[in-house]
Each structure stands twice: as structure tokens, then as C-alpha cells.
Structure 1
Amino acid sequence: MATKRQIEIKTPDGVAEAGLFGQPGARAGVIFYMDAFGPRPALDDMAERLAGHGYAVLVPDLFYRHGAYGPFDAKTAFAVEKTRTELRAIIAETTQGMTMRDSGAFIAALASHGISGPIGAVGYCMGGARALNAAAAYPDWIVAAASFHGGNLASDAPDSPHRSAAQIKARVYVGCAGVDGSFPPEQSALLAASLRSAEVDHIIENYVGMGHGWCVPDHGVFNEAGAERHWKRLTTLFAETLG
């Protein structure tokens, strides 16, 4: 059974709280980039399951700069004006650049807890782009990166992951919600072209019928069959790259 330790990680901008899951002596590490609703029991359960495959799984709070916030209900937060406004502000103010600076500290935290093997990255929702950008920013450490229902993976933004494809050495997996306004077909095509041109080993898979958030148990669109399919893809990716 995996275990959780609550740790603090010193970053260039402060101190981030994080959950570290897994038994001592894990063969490799995984950075789990949260979705928009922050660390909570649903993500703990997912990290526990992943750690059960023999990995040390780090789930950092990417919103630590904002002090106290939430908790947010994944089913209703964007439906209520007050929490929708609060969430959108926090997300907008937590830039990709901030998370990339933090990711160096996340890698160091894994090392400080005895994880000397390869590192994987996985992200959900807003975390999907961050997992891919982390692979580009830290190519000598991150050997596999996965995004599930990640948004804006090939947008007009200067920090869009497709723009950094040439820096990625990791194997990449992208699982797309069947209908997702944050990652429409034209973005999927552009991301595929960018990864292929950069000679990145990758798969982009469309989960027909799944909604944005289908993998995470406390989302309103959670789909058990689709989630199990995601687990199969994720654990296979990490088994083949992390050992």
C-alpha cells in the first residue's frame, strides 16, 4: 500500500505544499500536475493508485503563491459565479513560466527523498500543458510526459507546448476528450505536426464520447470505462519508460 507524506518544497518564489506518495525505495519518480481545482482527496486517490505501481508520486500545489483558497467542488465550481471568478483569476495568475521554475524544485525534491531514477510527468486539465512544457524545460530528467484532457496545447500563446516540441526528449502521450473547446481538432493537428517535425516519440489519442475531466473521479463528467482506459495507457507509458 502506498503512503502519503505531506512535504514542503522551497521554490524560487516561496514554499509549495505537496503530497508525496509511495514507499521508500521507489524505482522512479512522477510529477503529477493537478487540474484547476487544486490538491484534494480525488487527486490523492489517483496518486495512490499510480504509486502502487512502484513510483514515488509528487502532487504539488501549483497555486501556493495565492495563500489560502478553496476548497473547490469540481462538479460546481465553474457553475457558480463567485467560485468561477476566483478560479479563473488564480489560474490566469499562475503562469506556465511560474510552473516551469517550480518544476526544477519539484525534481530536486524527488532527489532529496532518494529518487535517483528517471522521472515522468502527467497532468490533467490545466496540468496537461504543464506536463508537456516540463518535459521541454527539463529534457535531461523527464523521460515521459502525459496529458489528459489538457487544454490549449497548441494555441496562439507564446508558452503553448507545441512551440517547445524541439526541446522534448521524452516520450509523449496526449489523451483528448472527444469534444473539448479548450483543445479543438485544429489544435490537435498542429500539436501532432509539431511533435512529428521535432521527431518526438508520441501518441495523440481521441477518447470519443468523453467530456473534459473524464479521468478524475470527482468531476461531473467522470466516466469509469474511459478512466480505466486512461489508466491502462498511462501505466503502460511509464512501465516502458520508467521501468
Structure 2
Amino acid sequence: MRREILIDAADGVAKAMLVRPDNAAVPDGQLRGVILYMDAMGPRESLYGMAQRLADAGHVVLVPDLFYRFGAYGPFTGTSFGDDTARAQIMKMLQGTSQEMTKRDTAAFLAVFDKEKVAGPIGTVGYCMGGARALTAAAAYPDRIAAAASFHGGNLASEAEDSPHRLADRIKARIYVGVAGVDNSFPPEQSARLAEALRTGGVDHIIENYVGMAHGWAVPDHSVYNETGAERHWTRLLTLFDEALA
């Protein structure tokens, strides 16, 4: 069950989709909140379908538009990056939406669950650009976020000052990172750096390499979507939330 809402975010009004279970298997009082941070192609039917599957497993899922500062754009799909014009617009918005911006927006995202009477710890999950934001949120709001997952997330342990690995000592959540087998946005040296930071920071974490998967494998409308890899991702994600958000 989907409902489009408007959120008074840090720098304006952000559109978002709020997704609840289509079934009645889990009573409202037992539902847990999850923020799904989009990939660079923005909110769209593919992500809403993923949110619905997550919701039907016992969650209330928020899919916010992180590019709201740019007004209307797109619409894009998982293959839009292959179009020169679309890619230029996507890169402009991606480069103009910092980690700090999304971190500040997340305070308003979390407030949605309070309004919806969704109690208990919150989970985050992000894909592509959203992966780093899911981890950064866990560091910024450690008393609210109990689980955070990144799938084919880029630049999780880069040289940038806002790289998520620098925040590891602030994270209380359980962390899962699913890595594409070959991904220039998250090369092996970054994976090693992230693992060291999380271990040194005392974070309960798993970093798992999905051999043979390409960047974007878990999102259905990507050209590199892989059903086997996607189902493995669902198993890991639902297990993480079942255990950490109970």
C-alpha cells in the first residue's frame, strides 16, 4: 500500500513514497520503520516495488527524493545513465547533493515514522549513491538507527572528508555491506579500508563480495540486474532487519 507524502526537509519540501504492507500478517504495532535511500536514477517504480517487498516483510518503508533541491527532473530508469543527456543531469544532481545535505534531511525522514506511530528502532538501506547515505545516517542518528545496509554502494571509504568510513566510531547499528564483484566506485582498497575502520570502531558488521555481480545488480530495472544475486541480497537484508530491529 503506497501513499505519496511531502516532507519538510532541511532545504525545502521533498516528495517521498511511504509504503505499508499489502497484507495483514504483521500488526501495525509490530511494524518497524525503514528508510530506503535511492540510487542515482531517483525514486521510481522499480524502487517502489522493492519497498513494497520490504514492507510486506513487516516494515513501513520511506523512499524519499534526495534530489528535491533541483525541482522536477527525469523521469529516469535504471538504464538512463547510458543516455548522454540524462547522465549529465544525473551527475549534476548527484554532485550537488552532498552527504551533509542528506544527513540533515534524515532528521525529517525519521520524524515521519513518529507521525505514523511507527515505534522502535529504524533500519536504513541504500543502493549506489544511497549506500553511503545509509551508513552516514547510522552514524548521525545512532540512537534511532539499529541496522544499516549498503548494496553496490560507491565511495564508502574514499579519501573524501565526508567518506562514511571516517564515522565508524559513531555507529551503534549493525552494518551489512554487499559489494559488487567488479565496481570502480568501490575498489578492493576501499573495501579493506572500510573493514579496518568498522572493526577498529567496534562495529558489528559484515562485508560480503558478490562475485560476478556488477554495480546495480540488485535493482530490477538496471541492465545488469541479476535475479540470483538479487534474491541473495533479499535474504541478507531481511535477515539483518529481522535480527537487528526486533
TM-score range, shorter chain: over 0.9
Structure 1 stretches of 4+ moved >3 Å: 23-26
Residue 27 (structure 1) shift: 2.1
How far apart, CA to CA, are the structure 2 residues paired with 1:228 and 1:12? 35
Tell me, in whole angstroms, the C-alpha distance in 2 between the residues paired with 1:195 and 1:132: 11
Structure 2 unaligned segments of length 5 or more: list them.
22-27
In the TM superposition, residue 12 of structure 1 has moved relative to its aligned partner by 2.1
* TM-score when normalising by structure 1: 0.97
Q: Deviations over 1:86-118 (max 9, x none)?
A: 110010001111000000000001111111111
1:171 counterpart residue number: 174
Equivalent runs, 1:22-171 vs 2, <5 Å: 22-23=20-21, 24-75=28-79, 77-171=80-174
Match of 2:24 in 1: none
Residue 201 of structure 1 corresponds to which residue in structure 2? 204
Q: Specify the code of the residue in structure 1 equivalent to 2:65.
A: D
Q: Aligned partners of 2:82 and 2:58: how far apart in 1?
A: 38
AA aligned opposite 1:201: D
Uncovered stretches (5+) of structure 1, i.e. residues with no partner: none
Tell me the CA shift for residue 73 of structure 1: 2.6
Rounded to whole Å, the distance in 2 between the matches of 1:81 and 1:167 is 39
- Is the CA contact (8 Å cut-off) linking 2:6 and 2:14 kept in structure 1? yes
Q: CA deviation at 1:26?
A: 4.9
Task: Give the Å deviation of 1:25.
Answer: 3.9
Change in Cα spacing, 1:82 to 1:181, as seen in structure 2 (3 Å) is same
Q: 2:14 aligned to 2, 13, 16, which one? A: 16
Q: In the alignment, is residue 238 of structure 1 matched against residue 241 of structure 2? A: yes
TM-superposed deviation, 1:83:
1.0
Please give the per-residue CA displacement for 1:55-96, whole angstroms capped at 9, x wherever unaligned. Answer: 100000001110000011321x22222111111001000111
Which letter maps to 2:136?
A: N
Residues 22-31 or 194-203, more deviating = 22-31
Residue 25 of structure 2 corresponds to which residue in structure 1?
Answer: none
- State the alpha-carbon separation in 2 of the partners of residues 26 and 90 from structure 1: 37
What percent of counterpart residues are identical? 63
- 2:7 aligned partner, one-letter code: I
Distance in 1 (CA, whole Å) between partners of 2:151 and 2:174 is 15
- How many Å separate the matches in 2 of 1:7 and 1:79? 30
CA distance in 2, matches of 1:111, 1:73: 31
Measure the CA separation in 2 of the matches of 1:126 and 1:12.
19
Please report how far the alpha carbon of residue 181 of structure 1 lies from its aligned counterpart in structure 2 after TM superposition.
0.1
Are the equivalent residues in 2 in contact too, given 1:26–1:56 (CA < 8 A)?
A: no
The one-letter amino acid of 2:125's match is V
Contact 1:32–1:60 under 8 Å retained in 2: yes
| In 1: Cα distance, 2:234 partner to 2:82 partner | 28
Once the two structures are TM-superposed, the CA of residue 207 in structure 1 deviates from its matched residue by 0.1
Q: 2:71, 2:157 → 1: CA distance?
A: 30
Opposite residue 95 of structure 1, the aligned amino acid is S
The alignment yields a C-alpha RMSD, in angstroms, of 0.8
Q: How far off its partner does 1:198 sit? A: 0.3
TM-score by length of 2: 0.96
SS of the residue 2:35 aligns to: strand
- Listed one character per residue, the Cα deviations across residues 133-190 of structure 1 (whole Å, up to 9, x for unaligned) are 0000000000000000000000011000000000000000000000000000000000
Aligned length: 240
